[in-house]
Chain A
Amino acid sequence: MKGSTAVPPGAVVLATSERFFVRSVPLASDSPAAAQVELALEALSPFPLAQLYHGYATDAAGGHALVFAAYRRAFSAEETAGWGAADTVVPELALWLGASAPKQPAIWMRENDGLTELAAWDGRSSLPVFVQARRLEPGQEDAWLEEVRARTGLPAGASVRRAAGPLVIRRDQRTLVIATAAGEFESRFGLGVLDQLDVRDKSALAANRGRAARDRVLWRAFAGTLAALAACALLDGGLALGRSWLAKRRALVATQAPVAARIEAAQDLAGRLEQIATQRVMPFEMLAAVNDRRPRTVEFTRVTTSGLWRMDIEAQTVNAGDLRDFETQLRRLGSVARVAVRDPRMREGLTTFRLEVEFKPGWTGGGA
């Protein structure tokens, strides 16, 4: 997006190259490039650093930087109105700063709206050795080229490539691409390099980045919350459908329940009939079998059958020793599967207890 007032948030603004001067600055490896660039600009520029829009690009070897700067007042308030909201503001000459450098000395030119940009390459550096933008009158190009060759020492046979038309900007994953419309020239910049190229005030830029990061976090949180709310809405919609479907299944189950209950009752009754046909409760036969082994001191107070084969007896005796003998005698009965004495208590010489006697299944009431 070329410098204008209507700049949507997050856009990349291309400032006209016409107002920028470009210089190559050697870099020392022992201090940060940004500080060296600012120091060099203070020496190069007649204006204080605070009155300049400036940025720079370093070559691949890190041996020198191409610094570009423009006097702030050279830009109207209307031109810079949208820069605050922009993601990145770079001069159009950035087209030359991320390109694949030619292996031979060459001059690349682009003309648009009467303004011609020129980049001269020495065939060794990854950055141009000279960049300039001029409005040329007809017939002035050759003289300019001669001047450039003279200033840069490029041979007369250095190739010249030309392109025309506006630049296009696109994002390719995490790379910003600036290219001519027809694709003759193209520069690619990783996101980490864009802060160097951005011409705005560096401290304001850092604040902008902070705000952008905060906005990004807020937006992601908001979007995530909206997505979760949408998921809740979907879940509730699905639950409404699920409840309706479940109600139909429940109604079907309720319809079938009486039939299932009848089958279950028939099963129970059939089982009981089969049992009744072959087996029956024999309370008096059980009582007689147990009574045969009863010591004389033991008296039964209550006997109760439990199921087909078990008899629970409440009894008492004045001789606690007979309880042990009685239990032993019952265990010797071949018809008895299990004997258990429960809750024996002695009070005033009388011992009370409960006796559980379980006869073997199939016992027919015969003797021991």
Chain B
Amino acid sequence: MKRFYLARSARERVLLLAFALVGLAWWAPMALGRWGALRRDLGSVRAEEEVQRIWFSRRADIEARATAAAGALDPAKTLDAAQAFAELNRLAAGLNAEIAAQRSERSEQFALHTVQVTVRRADLASLVRFYEQITARAPYLAVEQCSLSVDRSTPGVLSAVIRVYSIEALAPAG
């Protein structure tokens, strides 16, 4: 290569160098950019792998903990989403209530269903009674969040948005 290069005329040598430099200026930044991107991707995959490794390493402990938590529950008293809906409907009898199922979270052994109850224009005593009936079913049925607001036009009349959860024991698969 050296002999070939030095055998060229001065003009050809300068041109060859210029072409090579242009090629390098075009290629090197792109290659370095691709390298940087690969390093970032590798870092992200490694982070995900590390998170997964931690979860897998704790799998037995978590399952044991879930089993213990589930063991403290009486399966006969748990409520699935439909049962919770029906039960809340029954408890809210006499109230101007709107009940809507929101979401469910599931593990292999149990599920947690969330239902939102919206009560409009009720007196405090009726709301307290409704709350106490829910509380009596705890921990299978309980309040997760509650918001009360006063009806400005009618003193003593309240509106409430109550998020209630119910626990359902799931039969083992298979």
Contact = CB atoms under 8 A, between A and B. Distances in A.
A246 B42 contact: yes
Contact of A276 (B1, B28, B142): B142
Interface in A194-220: 214-215, 218-219
A267 B65 CA distance: 8
B99 to A, nearest CB: 18
A268 interface: yes
Interface string A256-293: 11011011111111101110110011011001000000
Given A242-B38, A280-B138, A229 B27 contact: yes
Interface of A: 8-10, 214-215, 218-219, 221-223, 225-226, 228-229, 232, 235-236, 239, 242-243, 246, 249-250, 253, 256-257, 259-260, 262-270, 272-274, 276-277, 280-281, 283-284, 287, 299-306
Contact of B143 (A232, A272, A281): A281
Contact of B58 (A229, A256, A263): A263
Given A229-B24, A239-B35, A281-B142, A253 B2 contact: no
A280 B17 contact: no
Given A239-B34, A266-B62, A269-B66, A253 B49 contact: yes
Contact of B23 (A229, A266, A301): A229
Interface of B: 1-3, 5-7, 10, 13-14, 16-17, 20-21, 23-24, 27-28, 31-32, 34-35, 38, 41-42, 45, 48-49, 51-52, 55-56, 58-59, 62-63, 65-66, 69-70, 72-73, 105-110, 112, 127-128, 131, 135, 138-139, 142-150, 152, 165, 167
A75 B41 CA distance: 71
A301 B47 CA distance: 47
Contact of A263 (B5, B62, B72, B150): B62
Nearest to B66: A270
Contacts, number: 168
A248 to B, nearest CB: 10
A9 B7 contact: yes
A270 B62 contact: yes
Contacts of A242: 38, 42
Given A246-B42, A253-B48, A273-B70, A262 B108 contact: yes
A264 B65 CA distance: 12
Given A266-B62, A266-B108, A302 B149 contact: yes
Contacts of A265: 105-107
Contacts of B34: 236, 239
B14 A218 contact: yes
24 contacts: A9-B6, A218-B14, A222-B13, A223-B2, A225-B17, A235-B31, A239-B38, A253-B48, A263-B59, A265-B106, A266-B63, A267-B62, A269-B66, A273-B72, A273-B110, A276-B165, A280-B138, A283-B148, A299-B150, A302-B149, A303-B147, A304-B145, A304-B146, A304-B147
Given A10-B6, A232-B24, 18 more contacts: A215-B6, A215-B13, A221-B21, A222-B17, A229-B23, A235-B32, A239-B35, A243-B38, A262-B107, A263-B62, A265-B107, A266-B63, A269-B66, A270-B66, A283-B131, A284-B128, A287-B148, A299-B150
Nearest to B61: A267
Contacts of B20: 222, 225-226, 229
A215 B24 CA distance: 21
A317 to B, nearest CB: 14
Given A270-B66, A273-B167, A280 B143 contact: yes
A274 B67 CA distance: 11
Contacts of B110: 269, 273
Interface centre among B6, B27, B56, B59 (most CB of A within 10 A): B6
Given A232-B31, A250-B45, A269-B110, A8 B38 contact: no
A246 B149 contact: no
B33 to A, nearest CB: 10
Nearest to A303: B148
Given A225-B20, A246-B45, A270-B62, A263 B55 contact: yes
A277 B146 contact: no
A260 B143 CA distance: 29
Contacts of B139: 276-277, 280
